[in-house]
A and B are shown apart, each in its own frame.
Chain A
Amino acid sequence: MKGLIYRDFCLVKKNWIPVFCISVGAVIWNILVQLSFEYGNFKKYLLDDPNDTSGAGEVSRVMIYYIGLYMIPYLALILMDTLSVVRADLPVKWATNRKIFPVTALQWTVSIYSIKVIGLLIAIILFLINGSIMAHMTGNIFGIYEFNNMLLFACFYLAFDWVQMAFMVRVRTEKEMNSAAASPLLVLIPMFALAYPKCKSYAFKLETLFPEDAEIEVQERISQTKGLLQSEFGVYRDAVAPYLWLIVLALFALGFYLTYLGIKRREK
């Protein structure tokens, strides 16, 4: 099985290296931005701007902190992408030719998912490193709340991923590949359909909170929006938070099982 994992790793290496470099670069970028807020131009022109009474500078710092924080796992989760493996396998007809080797369907599935597990672990490690550095520099909290948000990212990504994998392992032509690549829409469309009424009511509440002609400080707007988010969506997130690891494992298991079934299928 090490040989199979090595093979898949060689095929994803081309994607992993730039994504990994970008992720590390993003950590460095975050550090530089926070240093600038501490000692540089951001401090001079945003935080210490005498014309800014709304506290927009401070708001910018917090937003950049969160953008920097959650950008890392998004990038790093791409490390779990095995679509590039399937695409690379098409010209060599691997879906057929792999059957000449003494490897069971289970072993094949384990090798594909090993790459995904390694990608997920790297994503978590990068996230922890980045979050710890950012929290230390900005004084923001980096704890279970932020970690659960990252796991939520992973859940959404894995939900798309297991659908895509189930299609991808059956792919034998470029045309089928395009269908497989679009298959996450099967998850995305129902999710949007379910979320739409909630989002609509949330938008209405925002309109009520912030009428067009009202003079409200930026910081006040951020604070009230955050409160509304917490009350509308945070409740759901906090309810599933204790089970996020189970959901991640369940999505992994579901994807694994569907991939295994797809690999076992024979040409008719």
Chain B
Amino acid sequence: MTDFENAIEIASLTKKYDGFTLDDVNFSVPKGSIMGFIGQNGAGKTTTIRALLNIIAVDAGNIKLLGMDNIKDEIEIKKRISVVFDELPFQDIFSAKQIARILCDIYPKWDNQIYEGYLERFQLPMKKKVGEFSKGMKMKLQIAAALSHSAELLIMDEATTGLDPVVRNEILDIFLEYLQNENHSILMSSHITSDLEKVADSVTFIDRGKILISGYKDDILENHGLIKCSKKDFQDIEKEDFISARLSDFGAEIMISDKSAMKRKYAGLLLEPTTLEEIMLFYVNRTKKEWS
């Protein structure tokens, strides 16, 4: 089934636990794009991904991957996608060669030449036990395996967490290469927003089980901004005009979500571009409204 617009479609996804609810999650990942799925620890990213993969049962909602139902067509979907978690799902006693031997039987389209090519590129030894690998090497091994069976969709859950900037950069370059094929898509969950700013086409921000923002990254960054002013000027800003404000002894930083309108309304105030990290920070504190 190649005739689909979105690699991932999530509609009305709800999952209840004691003390946490994934509440009516809706978003889509267009085919051929990379979506950054951001949120702080415990926001619901991993729960959403587990629901996508039918690892956990959901209370409500419909999920489609590559145009197919994630429950009815589970096996067929999993033949065509790759999932990378933050830890390698193989014991330390296995070598890269042994892992290939296991996976080549599981994935019908496994290509050992491509796998060995990636190992060579990443300078990973074939016969060394993965227990002797560093964290960065294990992640590269996972990615080599993920890219070796013609997967159309990559789902990464905190895959770059704990890696040094050099390795992270290397991995992000691989993703951009992967996306050269317009049939390939990536869903990448992370709280390292700087990585997503580099590579993501679109971003979905989740906090406490709810989706707060979902859309094209450039649009989000274009629409949001930080007003920097004195505490006195801050008093003149209406509460409904901003997401939240960080107050300090030096003044106030106020996150707004409609830059063009606020530019006109508060023309005298300094309005600066913002980053995904700042957006995340201010949204997380939205209920407090003013914080320091």
Chain B residues near A93: list those with CB within 8 A: 87, 89
| Given A96-B55, A266-B55, A2-B105 contact (CB < 8 Å) | yes
For chain A, which range describes its interface: under 10, 10 to 19, 20 to 34, or 35 or more residues? 20 to 34
| Given A104-B75, A266-B56, A92-B89 contact (CB < 8 Å) | yes
* Max count, chain A CB within 10 A of own CB: residue among B77, B78, B102: B102
Chain B residue with Cβ nearest A92: B89
Q: In the complex, A101→B77 CA distance in Å?
A: 10
Q: In the complex, A138→B56 CA distance in Å?
A: 61
A267-B105 in contact (CB<8A): no
Q: A2-B105, A100-B55, A267-B55 are in contact. List 13 more A-B contacts (CB 8 A).
A: A4-B105, A6-B98, A6-B101, A6-B105, A92-B88, A94-B89, A99-B54, A100-B83, A101-B78, A102-B76, A102-B77, A102-B106, A266-B56
* Max count, chain B CB within 10 A of own CB: residue among A10, A91, A100: A100
Chain B residues near A1: list those with CB within 8 A: 105
Chain A residue with Cβ nearest B83: A100
For A165-180 the 0/1 string (1 means CB < 8 A from B) is: 0000000000000000
* A8-29 interface (Cβ within 8 A of B): 10-11, 14
| B67 CB to nearest A CB, Å | 17
For B94-105 the 0/1 string (1 means CB < 8 A from A) is: 100010011111
| A98 CB to nearest B CB, Å | 7
| B188 CB to nearest A CB, Å | 15
Chain B residues near A102: list those with CB within 8 A: 75-79, 106-107
Judged by a CB distance under 8 angstroms, whether A268 is at the interface is yes
B85-A4 in contact (CB<8A): no
Q: In the complex, A266→B74 CA distance in Å?
A: 14
Number of residues from B at the complex interface, CB < 8 A? 28
* A37-67 interface (Cβ within 8 A of B): none
B85-A97 in contact (CB<8A): yes
28 contacts between A and B (CB under 8 A): A1-B105, A3-B106, A4-B102, A4-B105, A6-B98, A6-B101, A7-B102, A10-B93, A10-B94, A89-B91, A92-B89, A92-B91, A93-B89, A94-B89, A97-B85, A99-B53, A99-B55, A100-B55, A100-B83, A100-B85, A100-B89, A101-B106, A102-B75, A102-B78, A102-B79, A266-B57, A267-B55, A267-B56
| Given A266-B55, A267-B55, A4-B91 contact (CB < 8 Å) | no
Chain A residue with Cβ nearest B55: A99
B103-A3 in contact (CB<8A): yes
Q: In the complex, A57→B221 CA distance in Å?
A: 93
| A10 CB to nearest B CB, Å | 7
Q: In the complex, A220→B12 CA distance in Å?
A: 82
Judged by a CB distance under 8 angstroms, whether B20 is at the interface is no
Judged by a CB distance under 8 angstroms, whether A118 is at the interface is no
Judged by a CB distance under 8 angstroms, whether A88 is at the interface is yes
Chain B residues near A6: list those with CB within 8 A: 98, 101-102, 105
| Given A101-B78, A104-B75, A266-B57, A3-B104 contact (CB < 8 Å) | yes
Judged by a CB distance under 8 angstroms, whether B90 is at the interface is yes
| A105 CB to nearest B CB, Å | 10
Q: In the complex, A91→B88 CA distance in Å?
A: 10
Chain B residues near A267: list those with CB within 8 A: 50, 55-57
| Given A99-B53, A100-B83, A102-B78, A11-B107 contact (CB < 8 Å) | no
For B107-142 the 0/1 string (1 means CB < 8 A from A) is: 100000000000000000000000000000000000
Q: In the complex, A148→B21 CA distance in Å?
A: 58
Q: In the complex, A102→B75 CA distance in Å?
A: 5
Q: In the complex, A4→B76 CA distance in Å?
A: 18
| A244 CB to nearest B CB, Å | 35
| A261 CB to nearest B CB, Å | 16
Chain A residues near B101: list those with CB within 8 A: 3, 6
B75-A92 in contact (CB<8A): no
Judged by a CB distance under 8 angstroms, whether A253 is at the interface is no
A100-B105 in contact (CB<8A): no
| A101 CB to nearest B CB, Å | 5
A98-B89 in contact (CB<8A): yes
Q: In the complex, A92→B94 CA distance in Å?
A: 12
Judged by a CB distance under 8 angstroms, whether A199 is at the interface is no
Q: Lowest 7 CB-CB distances: which A-B pairs, in order?
A: A3-B105, A102-B78, A97-B89, A100-B83, A3-B102, A102-B79, A99-B55
Chain A residues near B85: list those with CB within 8 A: 97, 100
For A224-235 the 0/1 string (1 means CB < 8 A from B) is: 000000000000
For B246-268 the 0/1 string (1 means CB < 8 A from A) is: 00000000000000000000000
